[in-house]
């Protein structure tokens, strides 16, 4: 074979190879451009569904529900204001009670009021009468056989007979001796001196007197009539 023929054969082979390469490239391009898109994986679909559900789900306010999903009772602002005002008024009232002073009243007036507030048969009285019976005076002035008081005593009574009375002597240590002397003497006389000694002098009661409420003490002192 001549050299010319060999060159022609080689050129023909190269041209054929180039044609094959070009065809394969065009076919791959065509397949990639015209092939339908692959469906998304199931994982991606689930994620999309979760995103859409979370977006469409209505949000829940933390003020209306707690972490357990139950509704909480949210106090209205107006009620909060009322509660705060009530608390303020209560504190101011208690402070006013503490501020009431007894300094302008005598020790005797305070004592009489405290004793009636603690031992008085009736608290709702219009007036409080205070009378002193001295040592040696008869317990019952209507009976000539009556025994006499062995010490000075104080007699407290209401303005009405039904409001009762208290007869006592002070010991100077916060305690008093209460005599069982009635507000009015009723009975058959003469009863005899020993009768009064046994039932009214030897049968006294020792009582410790408390401090009481200053506001009520002042109210009672204002109703006091000291003879």
Q: Per-residue pLDDT averaged across 143-169, rounded? A: 95
79 has a pLDDT exceeding 70: no
pLDDT more than 70, % of the chain:
57
What pLDDT digit, counting tens, does each position of 44-55 carry? 444 444 444 444
The overall pTM is greater than 0.75: no
**Percent of the chain as helix, strand, coil, to the nearest 5:** 45, 15, 40
Taking only the tens place, the pLDDT of each residue in 59-70 is 444 444 444 554
Sorting pLDDT into bands at 50, 70 and 90, what band is 191? very high
pLDDT at 145 over 80: yes
Distance of alpha carbon 189 from its chain centroid, rounded? Answer: 60
The residues pairing with 165 across neighbouring beta strands, listed in sequence order, are 157
Residue of higher predicted confidence among 175 and 100: 175
Task: Report phi then psi at 37, rounded to 5.
Answer: -65, 145
Across the range 206-219, mean pLDDT stands at 95
What gap in Å lies between CA 159 and CA 164, rounded to an integer?
A: 9
State residue 4's pLDDT score. Answer: 60
Q: How many other C-beta atoms lie within 10 A of the C-beta of residue 116?
A: 27
Q: What is the pLDDT of residue 62?
A: 46
When the pLDDT of each residue in the chain is averaged and rounded to a whole number, the result is 76
Q: What is the pLDDT of residue 25?
A: 52
pLDDT band per the 50, 70, 90 thresholds, residue 13: confident
Q: Where are the domains of the chain?
A: 107-226
Is 60 exceeded by the pLDDT of residue 115?
yes
Which of the pair, 129 or 2, is modelled with greater confidence? Answer: 129
């Amino acid at each position: 074979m001549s050299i010319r023929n060999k060159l022609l054969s080689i050129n023909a082979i190269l041209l054929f190879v180039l044609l094959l390469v070009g065809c394969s490239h065009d076919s791959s391009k065509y397949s990639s451009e015209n092939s339908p898109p692959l469906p998304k994986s199931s994982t991606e679909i689930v994620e999309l569904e979760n995103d859409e559900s979370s977006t469409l789900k209505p949000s829940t306010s933390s003020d209306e529900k707690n972490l357990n999903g139950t509704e909480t009772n949210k106090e209205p602002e107006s009620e909060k204001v009322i509660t705060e005002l009530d608390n303020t008024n209560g504190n101011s009232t208690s402070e006013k009670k503490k501020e009431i002073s007894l300094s302008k009243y005598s020790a005797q007036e305070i004592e009489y009021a405290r004793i009636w507030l603690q031992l008085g048969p009736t608290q709702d009285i219009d007036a409080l009468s205070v009378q002193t019976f001295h040592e040696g005076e008869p317990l019952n002035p209507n009976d000539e056989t009556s025994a006499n008081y062995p010490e000075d005593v104080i007699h407290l009574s209401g303005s009405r007979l039904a409001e009762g009375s208290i007869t006592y002597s002070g010991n100077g240590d916060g305690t008093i001796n209460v005599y069982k002397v009635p507000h009015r003497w009723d009975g058959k006389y003469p009863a005899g001196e020993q009768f009064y000694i046994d039932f009214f002098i030897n049968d006294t009661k020792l009582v410790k007197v408390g401090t009481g409420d200053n506001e009520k003490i002042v109210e009672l002192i204002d109703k006091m009539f000291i003879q």
